[in-house]
Amino acid sequence: MEVFETYRPLLFSIAYRMTGSASEAEDIVQETYLRSQDTPPHEIRSLKSFLTTIATRLCLNYLNSAHVEREQYIGIWLPEPVLTVDGVVHPQEQIEQKESLSYAFLVLLETLTAPERAIFLLHEVFDFPFQEISEIVDRTPAACRQIFHRAKERLAARQQRFPTSAGKQREMLESFLHACQSGNLSALTELLASDATAWADGGGKVRTVTRPISGREAVARFFLGLQRLLPVGLTICIEEVNGSASLVGWNGEYLEWVLQLDIQDDQIQNLQTVLNPDKLAFIHQQLQPTSQIENALDMADK
């Protein structure tokens, strides 16, 4: 058990990036442990490869079944947000892997097929050699190499060239919040890119828009309109979520939503809000009451 615990952060990191679901990643890690107990230790050459193989194949099985479920999902589907510290979920996680944890990157991964996602992540993010990956996904090393390069080119074409610094991210986030709370349409509009798009995932359990809202003016008016619908006493905090400053809305002890901004060229490009309570369960457990008090931004003072 102690040896398995050594690899738990790695397995969770792979499963979360593969599935976009923290709760599902936890289940996959637990199932990996249970399945690993059926194999005598003397038959395992490399425990790391053995556990990664089980976890990756469970992820592939999940994604194949989830494809049907997501076609029936009500409204917009977004990944589950996770609380991070210095860009990582677990202290044991490599700091070099934090960029692949960003919300924008997770959304991009959704454009890849399940095998492409597995091969790309294992090689690019977790530094597995193609020979080892080929055994995990049951393909030849040459095929894995080809799939990897195809996936990398597809992602590179959509990724922003210059990542936004943590300081700039927080500055833009605070400016956005202030503009919304003060009802300043002009200031809010200036923060948004001309083709800014707002996405909201309520999963059919929380009333929200079921299609993206596009265009600077439409997005600005939409968020200003939401101000009138916010519950009395709502507390908004800034937390590091998926490696960047994000807004977290609390109604008492109830976590209402998490809002993340995708900033490109010093303008807000995408605004992604998760309201589905099922997708907020994991991060709700991560958040501590003390962090709410320290980071709370009193709406009445804004």
pLDDT in tens, 119-174: 999 999 999 999 999 999 999 999 999 999 999 998 987 776 667 788 999 999 99
pLDDT at 79: 95
pLDDT in tens, 75-128: 899 999 999 987 677 766 666 667 788 888 999 999 999 999 999 999 999 999
pLDDT at 293: 43
Residue 73 has pLDDT above 90, yes or no: no
pLDDT in tens, 227-284: 888 888 899 999 999 999 999 999 999 999 999 999 988 999 999 999 999 999 999 9
pLDDT in tens, 198-221: 999 999 999 898 899 999 999 999
CATH number corresponding to 2-80+100-156: 1.20.140.160
Q: How many alpha carbons fall within 13 Å on the CB side of residue 21?
A: 18
Residue 294 has pLDDT above 70, yes or no: no
| Bigger pLDDT: 274 vs 291 | 274
Contacts of residue 259, Cβ cutoff 8 Å, sequence gap at least 6: 246, 247, 248, 249, 271, 272, 273
pLDDT at 15: 96
pLDDT at 298: 47
Residue 1 has pLDDT above 70, yes or no: no
Domain ranges for the chain: 2-80+100-156, 166-301
pLDDT in tens, 46-61: 999 999 999 999 999 9
Distance CA 9, CA 157 (A): 30
pLDDT at 95: 63
Q: Residue type for 105, please? A: F
pLDDT at 86: 74
- Looking at every residue in the chain, the average pLDDT score rounds to 88
Under CATH, what is the fold of the domain 166-301?
Nuclear Transport Factor 2; Chain: A, (3.10.450)
Which of 141, 284, 299, 181 lies closest to 235 in space, CA to CA? Answer: 299
